[in-house]
Amino acid sequence: MPRYVDGYVIPIKKTRLAFYRRMARKAGKVWKDHGALGYMESVGDDLKVSFALPFPKLAKVRSGETVLFSFIIYRSRKHRDQVNARVMKDPRLDAMMDPKAMPFDAKRMAYGGFSVMVDL
C-alpha cells in the first residue's frame, strides 16, 4: 500500500520539552481525528555519530538544546493535502499556531513531504 510521510526536524531547548510534549499530544490528536494514519514525535537520545551529518549539526543546535525528529503518515500525497487542509481549519490548533507561542525556533525547522520508497 503506498504511503506518504511529512517529516520534520526541530531544534528545541531541553527546558521546553515538557511544554512541547503537551502541545504535540494535542496536535497529534487533531491530525489523527482528521485522518492521519500515524503521528510520531521523537526526542534525540543518541546523537553523537561520526559516520554522517549529525542531526544537531543539521539543526544548528545551540547549548541547552536537543533535536526532535517527527513524522506524520498518510495514505498518499493527495490524502496528506486533504488532511492538512482540514487540520489547518481546526480551531483546536489556533493557540498553537501563534509564532510567539512556539516552543522552538521555526526558522531552524527542516520540513518536507516524502513518498515512501520501502515499507516493510
Q: pLDDT tens digits for 23-67?
A: 999 999 999 999 999 999 999 988 888 888 888 888 889 999 999
What is the domain extent for residue 96? 4-115
Classified as helix, coil or strand, 67 is strand
Q: Is residue 120 part of a domain?
A: no
pLDDT at res. 105: 80
Specify the CATH number for the domain of residue 25: 3.30.70.100
Residue 86 placed within a domain: yes
Tell whether 34 is covered by a domain. Answer: yes
Residue 65 lies in a domain: yes
Residue 60 lies in a domain: yes
Going from the C-alpha of 70 to that of each of 50, 60, 86, 91, 111, the distances in angstroms are 22, 17, 20, 22, 9
What is the rounded distance in angstroms from the CA atom of residue 58 to the CA atom of residue 84?
26
Provide the pLDDT confidence category of residue 5 given band limits of 50, 70 and 90. Answer: very high
Give the number of domains in the chain: 1
* CA torsion through residues 58, 94, 77, 4, sign: positive
